[in-house]
Structure 1
Amino acid sequence: MKEEIRIRKIQTGNAKIGLIFNPLSGRIRKHKDVIKGILGRIPGVIIREAKSGHEFRESVKAFIDIEIDLLVIAAGDGTVQAILSDLFKEYIHRDWPVLAIIPGGTTNMTALDLVKYDDLVDSAKKLSACLSENTLPILLKKHVLCIEQSGVDKVYGMFFAVGVIARAVIFSRSGIKRVGITGEIYSGLIMAYYVVGLLFGRCDGAWAPAKTKVVRVGGKNFEGHNSTLFVSALDRLLFNTRPYWGEEKESLHVTFVKQDRQKSIGKYISSIWTLVSGKNTSFKKYDGYHSHNSSMLEMEIDDDYIVDGESYHAASNNGPLRISAVGPITFLTW
């Protein structure tokens, strides 16, 4: 009932709106004053700058306390993930505001699955106009991943990966400078670097497969190592790809590629490129490619993994790592 009231207030221009603005996010850093000025024109918006986990939590609490109807997050995937985790851990769902996300980070996979505007300034202008002119908003419900393991805090987010994808993301955050490049171009350069490494036979260290022993999904067990495995609540990934083809009705997309040491490097690179390009309709289970839609999976894992670009570590002595769908939650899209 509370959410229905909030939605009506957004639709009639009477909503109480809060904005969490991360000035250190990849794209925002270059256009901080411009973006803040555009979003500041939203009638009655309350703006809080936040740059750390502690400040994100303080901002969320302040907005929940005054019962805002819409929470706009101008930041990257990592900030969105931190705020989602805080909301799920600390607040009951009926107290949540509707969420809107401005693509202010480096990659922005979550935002770009929800909004039509890749350009930061265009996205901010369109949202500001929508809320200022009482344009009827479009609302979208999505589930969220809950990643949990015994003895470890739960993590919430929209995209999970282990193996080569996770290692590429971790490398991009710690191993090189971004030299001012953001967005999908930057992510594409990182993936190209990893493809070149595989082409030259790299299969250890930063190019090692995921250290997964067993993956349980869809009522089946899949044993052995996987080159990469990812789980997504998003429909669109980088470069507008949709590298999953499960036909089940559940809300989480699960795709993994079995490691095959006998496969030629050329064939391996070709198949991985085909996978990330979204041209996956010819993949068969016996080729080592698996894609399912599921509401839950478990894996035995001793490895690093990433959730929305943030890295974590799982140890099998803590028991299986479980990923399940929670929600759904309501997003504003434009």
Structure 2
Amino acid sequence: MRSGAPVIGLLFNPLSGRIRKRKDAIRRVLAGLPGATCSEVTNAPEIKASVDAFIQADIDLLVIVGGDGTVQGVLCHLFATQPLARWPVLTVVPGGTTNMTALDLGICGKPEFILQQLKGYLLKQIPPVFLQRHVLCIEQAGAAKVYGMFFGVGFIARAVIFSQSKIKQLRITGEIYSGIITFGYLVGLIFGRRDGAWAPVRMSIIERNTGVRHGTYAFLFASTLDRLLFGMRPYWGQEKEPLHITFVRQKPKRPLRSLLALLTGHAETLKEQDGYHSCNTGALELLIDDDYIVDGESYRASSQDGPLRITAAGPIIFLGAGR
């Protein structure tokens, strides 16, 4: 960002999960941010138009007030239209049903309080904390590239898709929302469920330099974030690569104990011969006919269109939480 007072663009999604009940309080804080222009968006065309306007205005900082889905919409449009050299610094105020990107940047709390803190930092000209993160690029022949920070297939995708129609009706958001999904999966696992949201996924996994794995899996996820929900770090690869990959075979050994190890940060004890695999890589390909999710948004993959390829784009620069 340029020295002195930065030029700021604020992208505010009033329909995001944690914002609906706080819209008026958030709008009051936004109005008081120095050097800021605010744009309210509720859909993809509005996000694109607002981002284009901010780029034309040569802003230094783009503040995204929304959830992971809003962040993903911004990332997809910026990658599709702008070279990295023209990007502003990004930061995220967690306002969605899920907010993994913000949490990984150390930003947590009520949106209006975080915006007040940002206002204080700007007025006092406190030195910023910049963080670099790569971004997932998901592509398949015949479809537009999708960018995001978290990819999931198998149980993870089914649970998110199911919850969008059921749990969201209860207006539950944040880590409570994610906790209900996790708890529901554990209960289903204990009682041996293998259908519906617990149905496994058949796929071929092609990793760089390790060949092809064919099989049936409970889930697979990939992320460039250092930590996920609840502060979890459910991957244990040692390779110096930006993509963190973890997948679990259907019917692994000691499933309940092992999933607790994933949730509590002791995943390094899990063994591949027991059905658990994690690594860091630069690229991953999947041959799959199933649904997948990227930052809470659902998509469909077909092996007839060739492999679904996941690579790392960036890195891009975020403004993180102050020390």
TM-score, with length taken from structure 2: 0.95
Among 200, 204, 222, the alignment partner of 2:213 is 222
Among 30, 33, 50, the alignment partner of 2:24 is 33
Structure 2 counterpart SS, 1:225: strand
Query: Following the alignment from structure 1 to structure 2, what is the Cα–Cα distance between the partners of residues 19 and 300?
Result: 39
Among 40, 47, 59, the alignment partner of 2:50 is 59
Q: Which amino acid aligns with 2:139?
A: E
Q: Which amino acid aligns with 2:116?
A: K
Query: Following the alignment from structure 1 to structure 2, what is the Cα–Cα distance between the partners of residues 122 and 224?
Result: 47
- What is the percentage of aligned positions where both structures have the same residue? 54
Correspondence for 2:302: 315
Contact 2:65 / 2:111 at 8 angstroms: preserved in 1?
no
Unaligned residue ranges in structure 1 (runs of 5+): 1-6
- Kindly report the root-mean-square deviation, in angstroms, between the aligned alpha carbons of the 2 structures: 1.5
Q: Which amino acid aligns with 1:121?
A: E
Among 155, 175, 185, the alignment partner of 1:164 is 155
Query: Following the alignment from structure 1 to structure 2, what is the Cα–Cα distance between the partners of residues 172 and 75?
Result: 19
Correspondence for 1:8: 2
Query: Following the alignment from structure 2 to structure 1, what is the Cα–Cα distance between the partners of residues 81 and 144?
Result: 13
Contact 1:149 / 1:322 at 8 angstroms: preserved in 2?
yes
For each residue in 1:253-283, what CA deviation from the matched residue of structure 2 results, as whole angstroms up to 9, or x when unmatched?
A: 001111137x5xxx32232232233221211
Query: Following the alignment from structure 1 to structure 2, what is the Cα–Cα distance between the partners of residues 191 and 311?
Result: 18
The equivalences for 1:183-198 within 5 A come to: 183-198=174-189
Q: Which amino acid aligns with 2:265?
A: G
Q: Which amino acid aligns with 2:122?
A: L
Query: Following the alignment from structure 1 to structure 2, what is the Cα–Cα distance between the partners of residues 8 and 219?
Result: 45
Q: Which amino acid aligns with 2:33?
A: I
C-alpha displacement of 1:118: 3.1
**Matched residue pairs, number?**
321
The equivalences for 1:73-88 within 5 A come to: 73-88=64-79
> Structure 1 residues 111, 38: CA separation in 2 closer, same or farther (over 3 Å shift)?
same
Structure 1 counterpart SS, 2:145: strand
Query: Following the alignment from structure 2 to structure 1, what is the Cα–Cα distance between the partners of residues 34 and 116?
Result: 13
Correspondence for 1:327: 314
Contact 2:93 / 2:107 at 8 angstroms: preserved in 1?
no
Structure 1 counterpart SS, 2:265: coil
C-alpha displacement of 1:106: 1.3
C-alpha displacement of 1:110: 0.7
Query: Following the alignment from structure 2 to structure 1, what is the Cα–Cα distance between the partners of residues 156 and 263?
Result: 10
Task: Give structure 1 regions of 4+ aligned residues with deviation exceeding 6 angstroms.
Answer: none
Contact 1:57 / 1:83 at 8 angstroms: preserved in 2?
yes
Structure 2 counterpart SS, 1:85: helix
Query: Following the alignment from structure 2 to structure 1, what is the Cα–Cα distance between the partners of residues 168 and 295?
Result: 19
Correspondence for 1:3: none
Structure 2 counterpart SS, 1:260: coil
For each residue in 1:122-161, what CA deviation from the matched residue of structure 2 results, as whole angstroms up to 9, or x when unmatched?
A: 3222112112221111001110000000111110000000
Among 126, 131, 138, the alignment partner of 1:140 is 131
Structure 2 counterpart SS, 1:257: strand
Query: Following the alignment from structure 1 to structure 2, what is the Cα–Cα distance between the partners of residues 176 and 76?
Result: 16
Correspondence for 1:293: 280
Query: Following the alignment from structure 1 to structure 2, what is the Cα–Cα distance between the partners of residues 182 and 205?
Result: 23
Among 84, 94, 113, the alignment partner of 2:104 is 113
Residue 251 in 1 paired to residue 242 in 2?
Answer: yes
Query: Following the alignment from structure 1 to structure 2, what is the Cα–Cα distance between the partners of residues 79 and 218?
Result: 35
Query: Following the alignment from structure 2 to structure 1, what is the Cα–Cα distance between the partners of residues 167 and 108?
Result: 28
Structure 2 counterpart SS, 1:146: strand
Correspondence for 2:172: 181
Residue 204 in 1 paired to residue 195 in 2?
Answer: yes
Contact 2:205 / 2:287 at 8 angstroms: preserved in 1?
yes
Among 139, 144, 154, the alignment partner of 1:153 is 144
Query: Following the alignment from structure 2 to structure 1, what is the Cα–Cα distance between the partners of residues 255 and 108?
Result: 34
Contact 1:218 / 1:297 at 8 angstroms: preserved in 2?
no
> Structure 1 residues 116, 203: CA separation in 2 closer, same or farther (over 3 Å shift)?
same
Among 34, 41, 47, the alignment partner of 1:43 is 34
Correspondence for 1:237: 228
For each residue in 1:89-145, what CA deviation from the matched residue of structure 2 results, as whole angstroms up to 9, or x when unmatched?
A: 111211111101100111100111113433323322211211222111100111000
Contact 1:184 / 1:238 at 8 angstroms: preserved in 2?
yes
Query: Following the alignment from structure 2 to structure 1, what is the Cα–Cα distance between the partners of residues 88 and 288?
Result: 35
Query: Following the alignment from structure 2 to structure 1, what is the Cα–Cα distance between the partners of residues 18 and 131?
Result: 25
Structure 2 counterpart SS, 1:131: helix
